[in-house]
A and B are shown apart, each in its own frame.
Chain A
Amino acid sequence: MNTIFSLGIIISAMLILSMLQLIPGVFAIFYHYALGKTSRKKANKFGLFFIVGIISFALLVFILTYCLACLLSKQSTFLNELCIYWVLIGIFTAVGLSFFFFYYRKGSGTKLFISRNISNCYQASSKKVKTSSDAFLLGFISGMPELPFSLPLFFIISACLINLIDNLLIHIIVILLTTISVSVSSFITLGYYNADYNLANIGRFRTKNKSFFKTIISLIYFLIVLLIIVFRIIHA
C-alpha cells in the first residue's frame, strides 16, 4: 500500500513538472532569437546551456525541499501525522483550482499568469543573450515564477521518497529523474526546432492544446489529493 501510494504520488508529480508551460515558453522565445542572431550550431549550444540552467535550478530547489522533508521527518513523526495530510490536501486542492482558473490568462495566445513586466523581461533578456553564461542564467531564472505550482510537488516527492525507502542511491536517482523531468518539455521544444519547426508552429501547437494542458494538469493535482485521501486518510 505504502509503495503504491508513494510511487503514484512521485509519478503524478513528475508528470505535472514535465508539463508546466512557463519554462518551455521562455525556451521557445529564447531559441527563436538565438536562431535569428546566430548559426544553428551556436543556438543549439546556447539551448543546451539554457537546459543546464533549468536543471540546476530544479536541482537546487529539490535538494532544499528534500533537506526540509528530512529534517521534519527526523525531528518528529511530523510526516506521518494525520493533520499534515489534511494540510497537503488543502494545498494541492488550492493549487489545482488555481491552475485551472488562473494559469492561463484570458484571450488569444498562451499568456500565462506571470505579470506582464516579468514576461517582457524574459523577452528582452532572450533577445540579448550573447554568451553561454547568459543562456545558463536565463534558464536558471526561467522556472522561478512557477514556484507556487512546482514547490509543493518537489516537497511531496521528497516526503514520499523518504517514506518509501531508506536507500541513498535510489534517492539520488529519483532526485535526478525529477530534475530531468522539469526540462523534458524544453528538450522536446529543442527537438522541434531542430526538425525545422519554428516559433509559429510551436505557438500554434501551444494555443491549440491550451485547454488540454490546463485540464489534464489540474486533474493530476486532484489525483494527488485523491491518493492522499484514499491511502492516508481512509486507510489510516
Chain B
Amino acid sequence: MLELPHEKTIRKNLLIDAKAVGIPIGSAEIFVDNTLKSVKSSLKQTTITENQFKTAIHKELKKYNADFAYVYKNRDKIV
C-alpha cells in the first residue's frame, strides 16, 4: 500500500473542512479514514502527482458528501 507523505496534516485539514461543512465529528472521522484508506489502496504507482492525488481524494469524498468534495476541490478557486 502507498505511504502518503504528511498524512496527518492531510487528515487534519480534511477534518477541518468536514466540520466547517457541517458533518458531525464522528462521521467526518469515518469518512476521512475510509477515503485515505481507499486512496492509498487505489493508487498503484509509487510516485504520483499532486493532481492525481487530489482527484483520487475528491472522487472518494464525493461518495460520502458532495459539499465536502466540492470544498476540497474548489477551495483554491474562490478568490
Chain A residues in the interface with B (C-beta under 8 A): 21-22, 25-26, 28-29, 32-33, 35-37, 107-112, 114, 119-120, 122-123, 196, 198-201, 203-204, 206
- B79/A199 in contact, CB under 8 A: no
- A123/B77 in contact, CB under 8 A: no
Classify chain B: how many residues form its interface, as a range.
Answer: 10 to 19
Q: Does B67 contact A (CB under 8 A)?
A: yes
Q: Does B1 contact A (CB under 8 A)?
A: no
A196 to B67, CA, bound (A): 12
A19 to B20, CA, bound (A): 25
- A203/B20 in contact, CB under 8 A: no
Question: Which secondary structure dominates where chain A touches chain B?
Answer: helix
- B67/A198 in contact, CB under 8 A: yes
- A32/B71 in contact, CB under 8 A: yes
Chain B residues in the interface with A (C-beta under 8 A): 15-22, 66-68, 70-71, 74-79
- A199/B19 in contact, CB under 8 A: no
Instruction: Give B27 Cβ to nearest chain A Cβ, in Å.
Output: 15
- Chain A residues in 8 Å Cβ range of B20: 32-33, 35-36, 198-199
